[in-house]
A and B are shown apart, each in its own frame.
Chain A
């Protein structure tokens, strides 16, 4: 038994900033100080504050060390772990209040969060099944198998109001009910987990798998019991190596304990889970394409109906839920549906995990009750926009979603409200944009993504998105007309109505929502041939102010295109003639602006 636990984050974010080295050093220093029997080092999953990685927390005090460097370790071990003196200079500054250290839960980042799906992330060692059991893990499965009928399980999930966290928000209990009741021939049914997270900037599923893999296994077994399935598949991207490794370990441990396999808890229920690795195609996150891929075929969607609940994997009834949805299930069984339904808004219950990214101070992972406003998420939890810039919009839902402008800052976030303002919940990516982002360029970015990732099966998506992208390029090149904007809108609506799968149907959303809220920016590109945010290269001109330029020539040295030369003009008070840029040669790379120390160069 240890008197102190030092938790080091082993999520992908902190691993890439060097947490493995920190962990090794820590163990060596603890050994050296003779504390190995008193202090234990625990590798955990993501704690959420990825911007501050590598993160290290010392319990029982709960001291939060952020951006830990290897050279801090000897001092922290000697001072804190041995002598009990917190090394304040390395502690996350938000937790220091008047020289006193306050608990992490009282900082702005954590105060408004409510962790259900992320409950164990950053708390337990994901590679140790005992720690999961120590936080009431597998108790829900035990309860379901020994005390509840499958119908009661489904009724509980229905009553909780849980909706799919993958984006579309279909009621989870309803899905289970259909899979249980529609086909009753006693044959094989399947339970699948969609861990093919592909939205740019989204990483909540990865964090759950890395930080708490057993919760997914337990929840899938519960669903297996509820619908009468004995086999589950987790479809996870091969680009998530840490998640794959921890899932493999978790499945092995669960089988060893008999929590997966035959006759679980001595009942006649048997259930096993296998992993299937995806090769990174975005379309495989779409349910029918995902199942086609598990079957060993090329990942392409197929028309629905028949829905997977009737005819899914290997043409058998199948339920498919997202990682975050699964992570809520055991808690609902243990705490009751009323508990879950007490959180959130009328039609969206519980919490939602968001991956904050873009122009925001606290980049990372947050879990908030449904109904929290965008303002609270960005200004309070996210810590606002860096460098005092002005908020312009937030993008939710990735390539299927849309932008939320500042006038909807106080709309409570839930499934229906986001749809009403032209965006969607999506899997939970939340990218913040400030005044330096061009909205046309953002729409172009997401459309480029869809064009790259379109599987090509249906024409509206394969050709429609490509044509749409070309029209957007016309806008950013300053060659479009106002008529083109109307044509774009028409094409968007055509794709929406005719594409085969959810990805194609939602692909025009980034264009439609920016057209709806930021039409003036499009018009500026088309009519004035200007990019208001100064992003679209073709519409920019770099100029040197001859009065400010001192003629040092640094810009000319840095110019890759040889576009800068000396003029004959010597400004009053200057010794050297000023420089000027030849617009015909300029490639608009902006290198000169970076080298000028006198702010003589501007772009318009």
Chain B
């Protein structure tokens, strides 16, 4: 290593990963239903895609966590986005591709991706 730039390159690569271990309360929680119903309908690739995207884009304020059965098995894989002081948003029938859209448009852009929410399915 001969320059600060090289040090910074390593830091940037690792920072997101180590940031996963932050004890500070994350402002936004992204919860993936990972019960048998969720896993069977493909929640794991969704969870992994979300987790990777959040680390890669260094969204320090966002924690991607799992939960058990939410109770809407027919809509799995389900992803809930809980932001402080806002109403919970429930996305249904997620895929890794849809999840990426949620990351870009909702978590980064700040706009709910209405077409994937449970409300739009119930209409």
User: Would you call B52 an interface residue if the criterion is a C-beta within 8 Å of the partner chain's C-beta atoms?
Assistant: yes
Is A1 touching B1 in the complex (CB atoms < 8 A)? no
A534–B47 Cα gap in the complex (Å)?
Answer: 61
Is B26 touching A124 in the complex (CB atoms < 8 A)? no
Chain B positions 51 through 90: 1 when the CB is less than 8 Å from some CB of chain A, otherwise 0: 1100110000001111110000000000000000000000
Is A83 touching B68 in the complex (CB atoms < 8 A)? yes
Is B4 touching A146 in the complex (CB atoms < 8 A)? yes
A257–B6 Cα gap in the complex (Å)?
Answer: 10
Least CB distance, A457 to chain B, in whole angstroms:
46
Listed stretches B7-15, B100-108, B109-117; interface member: B7-15
Listed stretches A58-66, A349-357, A476-484, A558-566; interface member: A58-66
Listed stretches A131-139, A371-379, A575-583; interface member: A131-139
Chain A positions 121 through 132: 1 when the CB is less than 8 Å from some CB of chain B, otherwise 0: 001100000110
A130–B67 Cα gap in the complex (Å)?
Answer: 31
Is A1 touching B17 in the complex (CB atoms < 8 A)? yes
Is B64 touching A60 in the complex (CB atoms < 8 A)? yes
Least CB distance, B85 to chain A, in whole angstroms:
19
| Residues of A with C-beta under 8 A to B47 | 3, 38
Chain A positions 91 through 108: 1 when the CB is less than 8 Å from some CB of chain B, otherwise 0: 000000000000111000
* Minimal Cβ-Cβ distance residue in B for A62: B23
B-side interface residues, number (CB < 8 Å):
38
| Residues of B with C-beta under 8 A to A84 | 32-35, 65-68
Is B11 touching A136 in the complex (CB atoms < 8 A)? yes
Is A60 touching B68 in the complex (CB atoms < 8 A)? no
Is A104 touching B36 in the complex (CB atoms < 8 A)? no
Is B35 touching A265 in the complex (CB atoms < 8 A)? no
A105–B22 Cα gap in the complex (Å)?
Answer: 10
> Provided the pairs A2-B17, A83-B35, A130-B13 are in contact, do residues A265 and B66 lie with their beta carbons within 8 angstroms?
no
Contact of B4 among A131, A142, A258 (CB under 8 A): A142
Is A265 touching B3 in the complex (CB atoms < 8 A)? yes
Least CB distance, B16 to chain A, in whole angstroms:
8
* Minimal Cβ-Cβ distance residue in A for B49: A3
A61–B25 Cα gap in the complex (Å)?
Answer: 10
Is B64 touching A266 in the complex (CB atoms < 8 A)? no
Is B17 touching A134 in the complex (CB atoms < 8 A)? yes
User: Would you call B21 an interface residue if the criterion is a C-beta within 8 Å of the partner chain's C-beta atoms?
Assistant: yes
User: Would you call B2 an interface residue if the criterion is a C-beta within 8 Å of the partner chain's C-beta atoms?
Assistant: yes
Is B3 touching A266 in the complex (CB atoms < 8 A)? yes
A265–B7 Cα gap in the complex (Å)?
Answer: 9
Is A103 touching B23 in the complex (CB atoms < 8 A)? yes
Contact of A133 among B7, B24, B33, B39 (CB under 8 A): B7
* Minimal Cβ-Cβ distance residue in B for A258: B1
User: Would you call A516 an interface residue if the criterion is a C-beta within 8 Å of the partner chain's C-beta atoms?
Assistant: no
User: Would you call B18 an interface residue if the criterion is a C-beta within 8 Å of the partner chain's C-beta atoms?
Assistant: yes
| Residues of A with C-beta under 8 A to B25 | 103
A7–B21 Cα gap in the complex (Å)?
Answer: 9
Chain B positions 28 through 41: 1 when the CB is less than 8 Å from some CB of chain A, otherwise 0: 00001111100100
A257–B7 Cα gap in the complex (Å)?
Answer: 9
User: Would you call A500 an interface residue if the criterion is a C-beta within 8 Å of the partner chain's C-beta atoms?
Assistant: no
Chain A positions 42 through 67: 1 when the CB is less than 8 Å from some CB of chain B, otherwise 0: 00000000000000010111100000
A134–B20 Cα gap in the complex (Å)?
Answer: 11
> Provided the pairs A5-B21, A7-B21, A61-B65 are in contact, do residues A139 and B11 lie with their beta carbons within 8 angstroms?
yes
A133–B56 Cα gap in the complex (Å)?
Answer: 17
* Minimal Cβ-Cβ distance residue in A for B55: A1
A135–B47 Cα gap in the complex (Å)?
Answer: 25
Is A124 touching B18 in the complex (CB atoms < 8 A)? yes
* Minimal Cβ-Cβ distance residue in A for B53: A1
User: Would you call A85 an interface residue if the criterion is a C-beta within 8 Å of the partner chain's C-beta atoms?
Assistant: yes
A130–B10 Cα gap in the complex (Å)?
Answer: 7
* Minimal Cβ-Cβ distance residue in A for B34: A84
User: Would you call A259 an interface residue if the criterion is a C-beta within 8 Å of the partner chain's C-beta atoms?
Assistant: yes
Least CB distance, B28 to chain A, in whole angstroms:
12
User: Would you call A82 an interface residue if the criterion is a C-beta within 8 Å of the partner chain's C-beta atoms?
Assistant: yes
> Provided the pairs A84-B65, A84-B68, A124-B18 are in contact, do residues A3 and B7 lie with their beta carbons within 8 angstroms?
no
* Minimal Cβ-Cβ distance residue in B for A137: B11
Least CB distance, B108 to chain A, in whole angstroms:
18
| Residues of B with C-beta under 8 A to A137 | 11
A124–B25 Cα gap in the complex (Å)?
Answer: 19
| Residues of B with C-beta under 8 A to A146 | 4
Least CB distance, A57 to chain B, in whole angstroms:
8
Of the listed residues B1, B32, B39, the one surrounded by the most CB atoms of chain A closer than 10 A to its CB is: B1
| Residues of B with C-beta under 8 A to A85 | 35, 67-68
Is A83 touching B7 in the complex (CB atoms < 8 A)? no
Instruction: Find residues 10-63 in chain A having any chain B CB closer than 8 Å to their own CB.
Output: 38, 57, 59-62
Contact of A131 among B3, B14, B32, B67 (CB under 8 A): B14
Is B2 touching A265 in the complex (CB atoms < 8 A)? yes
Is A265 touching B1 in the complex (CB atoms < 8 A)? yes
Is B1 touching A259 in the complex (CB atoms < 8 A)? yes
User: Would you call B119 an interface residue if the criterion is a C-beta within 8 Å of the partner chain's C-beta atoms?
Assistant: no
| Residues of A with C-beta under 8 A to B4 | 142, 146, 265
| Residues of A with C-beta under 8 A to B36 | 83
> Provided the pairs A62-B23, A134-B18 are in contact, do residues A83 and B11 lie with their beta carbons within 8 angstroms?
no
| Residues of B with C-beta under 8 A to A130 | 10, 13-14
Is B18 touching A135 in the complex (CB atoms < 8 A)? yes
* Minimal Cβ-Cβ distance residue in B for A105: B23
Least CB distance, A214 to chain B, in whole angstroms:
12
| Residues of B with C-beta under 8 A to A61 | 63, 65
Q: List 18 A-B contacts (CB under 8 A).
A: A1-B56, A3-B47, A3-B48, A60-B20, A61-B65, A84-B34, A85-B68, A103-B25, A104-B23, A105-B24, A123-B21, A130-B10, A130-B14, A133-B10, A258-B2, A263-B2, A265-B1, A266-B2
> CB within 8 Å of A: which residues of B?
1-4, 7, 10-11, 13-15, 17-18, 20-21, 23-26, 32-36, 39, 44, 47-48, 50-52, 55-56, 63-68
What 9 new A-B contacts, CB under 8 Å, besides A62-B23, A105-B24?
A: A3-B48, A84-B32, A85-B68, A105-B23, A130-B10, A130-B13, A138-B7, A142-B4, A265-B4
